[in-house]
Amino acid sequence: MKVRDYMVPLSDCARVAEDRSVYDAVLMLEACRQRFEHSAYRPRVVLVHDPDFRIVGSLRQLDMLRALAPGRAPAGLESAAPPANTWVEVWADLNRTARSVRVKDVMHRYGEKEYVTEDFSMEEAMSRLVEGPYLNLVVTSGGASVGILRLSDVFSMACRDIQKSGMH
């Protein structure tokens, strides 16, 4: 079993450039979710790419909410007004805040161990996911990003195998 057989191809993933805003990332995530509305695959992460379209990180739901957190001064607005102090104030101004925060300032930047080649065995990949612990691994081929291997998919696969082994 190789990673390439279980990865989600990049074409099925929400992606955004690292210099874009959290607002742009939310739009990309929602567009991707609509594509898979009637599928078991439910995107929860926006992959972040550099100018050369290499996947360099991710913006998870928690990252997006933290980017909007009370007390966070949006880039370029530090002197314009004091930062919001409560979630009520943040909620009232979500659009402006989301447009002012850059993805690169709040994303999870991938480390070396979060990249695997498509020829990695599933056993090696599972070891990486567990030891990390990581929510996903970026799958590469010839130095280019080609997909992701999600912890949730590996867990589902393990659950299926456990159930199958109990039926014998």
CATH code, domain with 40: 3.10.580.10
Contact 107, 57 (CB under 8 A): yes
Least confident of 49-63, 68-82, 90-104: 68-82
Number of folded domains in the chain? 1
Is-contact 140 115, C-beta < 8 A? yes
What string of DSSP letters covers 83-125?
PP-SHHHHHHTHHHHHHHSBHHHHSEEPPGGGEEETTSBHHHH
Q: How confident is the model at residue 76 (pLDDT cuts 50, 70, 90)?
A: very low
Which pTM was predicted?
0.82
Please give the radius of gyration of the chain, using alpha carbons only, rounded to the nearest integer. 18
Cα 81 to Cα 105: distance, rounded to the nearest angstrom: 20
- Domain around 24: 3-166
- Place 77 in a pLDDT band, splitting at 50, 70 and 90: very low
* pLDDT interval class at 37 (50, 70, 90): confident
